[in-house]
Amino acid sequence: MSQPIQITDSAQEYLAELLEKQNVEGIAVRIFITQPGTPYAETCLAYCRPGEEEPTDERLELPRLAVHLDRNSLPFLEEAVVDFNADRMGGQLTIKAPNAKMPKVNADSPLEDRINYILYSEINPGLAAHGGEIKLIELTEEKVAVLAFGGGCQGCAAVDLTLKEGVEKTLMERIPELVGIRDVTDHTDTTNAYYR
- Please report, in tens digits, the pLDDT of each residue of the chain (196 residues total): 457 799 999 999 999 999 999 999 999 999 999 888 887 889 999 999 999 999 999 999 999 999 999 998 998 999 999 999 988 888 899 999 998 987 777 778 889 888 888 888 778 777 776 677 888 899 999 999 998 877 655 555 555 556 677 888 889 988 899 998 888 865 554 444 444 4
Q: CB-based burial of residue 172 (10 Å sphere; 0-12 exposed, 13-18 middle, 19+ buried)?
A: middle
- The DSSP bridge pattern shows strands 80-85 and 42-48 to be unpaired
Helix (H) / strand (E) element for 13: namely helix 9-22
* 71 within 8 A of 33, measured Cβ to Cβ: no
Alpha helices in 101-148 (DSSP H): 111-118, 124-128
Distances (CA, A) of 77 to 63, 125, 148: 21, 25, 27
Spatial CB neighbours of 61, under 8 Å, sequence gap ≥ 6? none
| pTM of the shown model | 0.60
